[in-house]
Amino acid sequence: MKRRDFIKRSFGAGFAVSVGAGAIGNYGSLLASQILPPQNYDLAAVKGGEPAKMFDLAIDAFGGMKKYVAKNQTVVVKPNIGWDVKPEGAANTNPKLVTRIIEHCFEAGAKDVYVFDHTCDNWQSCYSNSGIEKAVKDAGGKMVPGNSESYYHEIDISGGKKLVKSKVHELILESDVFINVPVLKHHSGARLTIAMKNLMGIVWDRGYWHSNDLDQCIADFPFGIKPDLNIVDAYQVLTKRGPRGVTVDDVVPYKSLLISKDIVAVDAAASKIFGHEPDDIGYIRIADSMKLGTKDLSKLSIKRIIV
């Protein structure tokens, strides 16, 4: 069934994460409450290694990409490609991770894999200089523009408080599978860009969000569109002066990756990797209170992997 039918798929129950003293870069400890078979983990957290290898281990812990992508399905992979910044600037998702995700989708039997973003800088420059356009083409995927309002169609946001309608890119509405791949980084307005924030790149009218309670709008939107899987790139992390960044001196190699179906939980875990508590991030706190997912990491179970 196509996404345009607006049948929302339920998220899994959670995972448990415990992080140490809170300094930026302190990955802390990730504790599983019990030993579970791969298909029952709600979050995989990987530390160390290179992006492709980390994703291999993470998706295997979740039962493989075939759990999410079936033969002949159409997949949309949505990285952060919003900025005309080279990969070492960490303003966009790591292209090596994007390549590997697409490869897994095709190995699972995907018919087509599309990639796009509604960029902030010039879309052609963002696609090229981020390294993501080449990464997508090398993996056999297709880059699609997101720079014209004609690509976007209005949907209702059932359950939204401030955001009750939004124009969403047609690829998201027509796809069988939607994989959300944000990069973890500092953001001057929302404090952090993670999975919920990355969804602003699939809408046209994001200016409304900024002028009508940004945190509430970020929390509202997933009531209209929920990704099937969220993969947080924390390999290189822009720790200040985000979202675009200024200098590579602001980038810290965390070499971490998180995946989960629960968009609130994965954002909560990522906030701890950065050194925040989930309640420090407005949209995480609001989304939890609206029961979109869970930020209470102590109740949830994960697969912890150190390379």
Domain 3-9+70-294, second-level architecture: 3-Layer(aba) Sandwich (3.40)
Predicted pLDDT of residue 30: 43
Predicted pLDDT of residue 37: 55
**Percentage of the chain exceeding pLDDT 70:** 87
Mean predicted confidence (pLDDT) in 256-273: 97
Q: Whole-angstrom Cα distance, residue 96 to residue 36?
A: 29
**Region at 39 (left for phi over 0; alpha for psi -120 to 50; beta for the rest):** alpha
Predicted pLDDT of residue 38: 55
Whether 180 contacts 229, CB under 8 Å: yes
pLDDT at 282 over 80: yes
pLDDT at 111 over 60: yes
Whether 199 contacts 221, CB under 8 Å: yes
Q: What is the largest CA-CA distance in the chain?
A: 49
Mean predicted confidence (pLDDT) in 97-116: 98
pLDDT at 220 over 50: yes
Bridge partners for 192 per DSSP: 186
Predicted pLDDT of residue 40: 81
pLDDT at 31 over 60: no
Predicted pLDDT of residue 29: 41
Quick one: tokens of 243?
Answer: 């979202």
Predicted pLDDT of residue 42: 87
Count of Cβ atoms closer than 10 Å to residue 213 Cβ: 17
Which of 29-33, 56-60, 88-92, 97-101 is predicted with the least confidence, judged by mean pLDDT?
29-33
CA angle 273, 278, 283 (to 5 degrees): 120
Predicted pLDDT of residue 24: 35
pLDDT band, very low/low/confident/very high, at 302 (cuts 50, 70, 90): confident
Of the candidates 16, 57, 12, 59, which has an alpha carbon nearest to the alpha carbon of residue 34? Answer: 16
Q: Whole-angstrom Cα distance, residue 28 to residue 268?
A: 14
pTM (predicted TM-score): 0.88
pLDDT at 25 over 60: no
pLDDT at 294 over 90: yes
Tokens 């309608």, located at residue: 165
pLDDT at 16 over 80: no
pLDDT at 267 over 80: yes
- Which pLDDT tens digit goes with each residue over 74-84? 999 999 999 99
pLDDT at 174 over 50: yes
The per-residue pLDDT of the chain, averaged, comes to 89
pLDDT at 115 over 90: yes
